[in-house]
Amino acid sequence: MDDTDFGTVTWDVDRVRSAAAAVAARGDLLHTVAAVDESDATIVGFTELVVPGDGKGDAQHYGTGVLPEHRGHGLGRWMKARSILRARESHPGLEGLLTDTADSNTHMRRINDEFGYEPTHKSVEYQLDL
């Protein structure tokens, strides 16, 4: 999110499960694609897509991330492509896929452009240190 400082946010197993439970509690479906390093079975990247519970309307990409030491190999592109294909296969009633990406995130913006995402609006966040 560019220069916005949200402090240190730690994503551990409990926080991931809590976020997934919040999505489920409102009736939506969380689809996650992960890249796993086969040498040690660690997750090195992920992307999330939240689909409305009835499988209709617009789905929203939440987060996509790749550990720094695994970047530059196309994992973000591969995971997002797999997520899109899975959504189309599993939810033919979807009308669209939405994503939001900071202007400074040139790598993800390039991926979004390649997949045909088009800008619809711009959000601006302000932060005031007190």
Say how far apart CA 44 and CA 46 lie, in whole Å: 7
pLDDT at 126 over 90: no
Supply the mean pLDDT for the chain. Answer: 91
Residues paired with residue 37 on neighbouring β-strands, in sequence order: 42
42-55 residue pLDDT tens: 999 999 999 999 99
| Mean pLDDT value across residues 120-125 | 86
59-90 residue pLDDT tens: 999 989 999 999 999 999 999 999 999 999 99
* pLDDT (0 to 100) of residue 75: 96
Residue 126 to residues 43, 101, 122: CA-CA distances in angstroms? 33, 16, 13
The domain spans of the chain are 13-114
Per-residue pLDDT band at 129 (split at 50, 70, 90): confident
pLDDT at 13 over 70: yes
* pLDDT (0 to 100) of residue 1: 58
86-115 residue pLDDT tens: 999 999 999 999 999 988 889 999 999 999
- CATH fold of 13-114: Aminopeptidase (3.40.630)
Sign of torsion over alpha carbons 81, 87, 93, 98: negative
pLDDT at 124 over 80: yes
* pLDDT (0 to 100) of residue 2: 63
Say how far apart CA 36 and CA 29 lie, in whole Å: 22
